[in-house]
Every structure is written in structure tokens, then in C-alpha cells.
Amino acid sequence: MRALDAEAVRDWAEACVRDLRALRGEIDDINVYPVADSDTGSNLLHTMTAARNALAEVVPPNAGAALTALADAAVRAAKGNSGIILSQVLRGMARSAGNAAELDGAALAAALRAADTAATAAVARPMAGTMLSVLHAVAVALDETFGSDFGSADRTTEATEAAEVTATTGPEPGEVATLAAKIAADALAQTPHQLAPLAAAGVVDAGGRGLLVVLDALAEALTGVRKQSFDDVTDTTHANTAQQAWEVMYLLTVSDENRAAALSELRRALSELGDSVTVAEAGEAEYAIHVHCADIGAALEAGLDHGRPHHVRVEPLLTPKPPDTVAAGADRAVVAVVHGEALARLIEAEGTPVLTVAADREPTTEELLNLINGTAAAHVTVLPGGIHLTAAAERVTNHPMVAGRDVVVVPCSSPVQVLAALAVHDPGRRAGADVVAMAEAAAATRRGELTVAAEDAITWVGRVFAGDVLGFIDGEVVLVEPRDTADRVERAAIGVLDRMLAVGGELVTVLVGDDAPAGIADVLAEHVRAERPDVELVCYPGGQADAMLLIGVE
């Protein structure tokens, strides 16, 4: 085995280009996520070839310089989302190596962990089941096997030279690379279980497959043994496609003033335009930008708001229609958007994909697109757990990135209406009839709510002071319990519930918020048993931060 010196880096780059060229067609064929545009293999090959060619034109004095030459060229030539991520893998390794003459096993493990950090940081919303999750599995395994302190991602030139990388303990570089490839192969095999489009097409993630090629090549460069860690790439029937959007890429020079804030705002703006947003560091004050969107001009204007775009590249993007081979019953899906982690876990336990959003914000366009497109279904019903969440969901129903899918939003004003809709969902029913049934169930569910007044106010039922407990029914204040009443929450909860049941009801669903007093569910259960034994009561932890209790009556 050999250490990763400058010559080994050169051999690695050559092996990467050779194998990516050989497997380009296979990788392109399995490219179905985020769009089935059959170019992931080509993009990885283009990016790595440019990096290899740049390294061939210089004589780097050490491994760190060789990795830096690869990374700099890859960032500037990166093509597609996968190409940008690969460039960040190389950049992370280069930064970790510093000016090291060569990398031993510990240093290589640290470099691969740094690659994971750099690549993940560049992507606006990392997704499980992609190239990033394969890379992260490698980083976790290396950390567990060798320890995060075994090799430093911040080693100085002096420390490297002092060590001379001649340590007699620790793993050989080839052992680290071989383990990395094995872990990547195992993680790649799991990607169809993590992303519905991959499962529907019967393939693994194309970007992850390309990353495995790169790691196999690294192991070969260090051990002299050529091995393919994952040979059973499953062919897939190409999805029907229609041109709907564009892949926009450019380099952006950003001024030093408020750079972090500018980049954060740029990510937000691009996420509102489309998906697959990447903002990756490309050098001093320079960043590689990537987005899939329908409006090329808006993507460039977003960059102009924060710097100087240059090296602009735009290519047509093919948005997939769901494969014709999707099994019966899997051609449609129901998804939910809610506030509260506990509620999200409750919904996920029923097999419904869910997007959890913090109470103080709305979901971004990219988050909603990923939720909808991640189902690989032709018909998607969205159940948003609130008025503002409903409005956000309705804004993306006609987005170009969901073209080919029928996206329907069932308006819900409260999470209890989401649960009511899910309770009547029947996958065996026709899609239109199922939507109608869910919409009717949501609309028929009356909603109650208990909150604490944040400030003094005047309501229909009298004056309110900050700290008072307010009871709402269908959005209107119906009672106020003064803040100085010891059992004000229990009294308010029972008061709201009794008012709701006074006009009828057979099933009461209560979602308990984070700030609700302990035992409130037992208080309500005892009251219902004593006063309304004909009514069924179920209580769940909701995890919501904006209401102590959410009550639904059906």
C-alpha cells in the first residue's frame, strides 16, 4: 500500500476519469432524481475530466497542492448538481490536507470527513437517499472506526512536516479507502428505501453511484487492486419526460461586506424559484451557484442582488412524469405539512410523508417541491395543518417543477382537520372521490384552541389581559379565564369542549402542546367519561408551540 502523495492523487484522478467514462451510460440511465434528465454520469465525468486535466498541467509539490489543483478546477468546471457536490468533496479533502506532503490513513480519514462537511454545507436542503447521504454514511463509519480525533482536519504545515507521516500506528491509507468504498456501496444499496422516486423506478441514486466510482478509484490508486464495490446497477425504463424547466449555473463574486447574510438571502431566493439549490464556495469571495427553475432571468437577478455573476451556463431540464410502471395504488399519494415534531411523528407512523415546519415560519418552495416530487406519484394530495400552510401549499400546485403531476390541496385550518382527513383516506378509492371524502371530513371537523394572551386586548367576550387563557372555537374567542385563576387551563379546556359538544359530536381529538400543564389529558378524559359517556376522546402529544391545546370534534 502507498500513502496518498501527489503522484497517487494524479493516479486517482486518472482512474476516476477512466471509470466514470466507462460507467457514464449506466449512471445516466438510472438518473431519476431530482429530475430524470439522464445526465448525472455525464456531469460527473465532465467535472472530473476538467479537474484531471488541470492537475496534468502543473507539478504540485505535495499531496495538498495536488488536491487543491483538482478542487479549484472542479469547482470552476462543475456541471449539474452532482458535479458541484463532487467539486466540494475535493475541496473539503484539499482543505483538510493543507500543505501535507502526503496523507497517511488517519489524514485520509479526516479528509473524507471534511469532504462530507463541505459537500453537505453547499446544498440548501440535503436529502436522504442521495449522493450526500452516501457520503455521510462514509464519514460516520470512518469516525466510528478510527475516531474523530484520529487525524486532524486542521493540521498545520509544521505539524505535518514534524510528523513526516511515518506513524507506525493506525490504518493504512488503502485500508481507509477500501472501507470507505465498502460503506458507500452499502449506503448506496439503501437509497431506494429512502427516496420514493428511486423505489418506483427500481434504481439506486445516480449521484451516489458516481461517488462510489470515485471511492473505488481512490482505493485502487492506494492499493493497486481494481475492484467494483457495487456491480448490480439496476436498469430502468426511462420516465416519460417533457421539457419544463432549466438548469442554471454560474459563478458569483460576492463582496466581503455582509457576505454570510447575502449568501443566506441568495439561498432563500433561489429556493423560492425552484429546487436542487446549491451555493458552494469556489474560492476567495467566489461561489458556484446551481438551481433548477423555470425562470432563468430571476435566477440571474437573484445573483445580481448579491454580487457579480459570470461563467453563466443554462441547459434545458427535463421534468419527469411518474413512471408508467408504478404499481397500482402507488400512482397517487397523500402528504402533510404541519407544525410540531410530535404531530409529524404521529402522521409518519401512519405511512404518510410529512414536512415539519417551525411554528414561526412557512415552508419554502423547495421544501414543498421536494415533499411532492419525492412521492413519485402522478396524483398528490397535500394536507396542510393551518391557514398559512394551506396558502403556501397552494402556491406551488402549478409550479413548473411539478408539471406532469396532479397536485390538490385540501384546505385545513388546524392539524385536527388533517387527522380527520387522514382517517377517511382510502387508497383503494378513486383519486377524485378520495379527495372529496378527505375535504368533507376536514370541513366537518370543528376546531377548538387554547392559547395564552400575549398582550392586552378587547374581544367579543370582554377585555383580555396578557397571561389570560383564551378559548377559541372555529377561530372566534368564546371564553376568557383570568391569569390569576389557579385552574384556568383546565377550566378553559372543559369550557371550550362543552361548548363544542353542545351542538353535537361523537369523536373528540385533542393535540397537547408543549406548554400544556401535565395531566390535562387525564382531566379531559375524566370529564368526558362523567358528562358525555357517548363521546369517544383521544389525546395525542402534538408538540405545537403556539397553542396549549388543539381540539377537534367530529
CA nearest to 276, candidates 43, 481, 533: 43
Phi-psi map region of 285: left, alpha, beta (phi>0 left; psi -120 to 50 alpha): left
Spatial strand order of the sheet with 379-384 comes to 354-356, 332-338, 379-384, 406-409
**Secondary structure (3-state) at 334:** strand
- The pLDDT score that the predictor gives to residue 156 is 35
pLDDT tens digit string along 35-79? 777 789 999 999 999 999 999 999 999 999 999 999 999 999 999
**Please, what is the Cα angle at 291 between 289 and 294, to 5 degrees?**
140
Q: Residue 537's Cα: distance from chain center in Å?
A: 36
Residue 354 near residue 347, CB atoms below 8 Å: yes
Contacts of 109 (CB under 8 A, 6+ apart): 142, 145, 146, 150, 151, 171, 176
CATH numbers and ranges of domains, the chain: 6-223 (1.25.40.340), 243-320 (3.30.70.1150), 332-444 (3.40.50), 446-553 (3.30.1180)
CA nearest to 440, candidates 315, 281, 304, 554: 554
Asked which of 226-240, 308-322, 435-449 is least confident by mean pLDDT, the reply is: 226-240
Beta 241-253 vs 308-320: how paired, if at all?
A: antiparallel
Q: Residue 134's Cα: distance from chain center in Å?
A: 14
Asked which of 45-54, 191-200, 459-468, 534-543 is least confident by mean pLDDT, the reply is: 191-200
pLDDT tens digit string along 111-161? 999 999 999 998 877 888 899 999 999 999 998 887 655 444 343 333 333
- The pLDDT score that the predictor gives to residue 472 is 94
Q: Give the three cell numbers for residue 186.
A: 452499502
- CA–CA dist 317, 346 (Å, integer): 37
Annotate 87-117 with DSSP letters as a single string. Answer: HHHHHHHHHHHTT-S-B-HHHHHHHHHHHHH
Annotate 138-181 with DSSP letters as a single string. Answer: HHHHHHHHH-TTSS-TT--HHHHHHHTT--SSS--HHHHHHHHH
Please list the alpha-helical segments (H only) found in 274-316: 296-304
**Secondary structure (3-state) at 474:** coil
- CA–CA dist 4, 100 (Å, integer): 10
Residue 523 near residue 355, CB atoms below 8 Å: no
Percent of the chain surpassing pLDDT 90? 57
pTM above 0.85, yes or no: no
Contacts of 158 (CB under 8 A, 6+ apart): none
Which residues on adjacent β-strands are paired with residue 500? none
Q: Average pLDDT in the 227-246 region? A: 52
pLDDT tens digit string along 367-402? 888 888 878 788 899 999 999 999 999 988 877 777
Q: Which residue has the higher pLDDT, 511 or 147?
A: 511
Q: Give the three cell numbers for residue 187.
A: 449506503
Contacts of 183 (CB under 8 A, 6+ apart): 137, 138, 141, 142
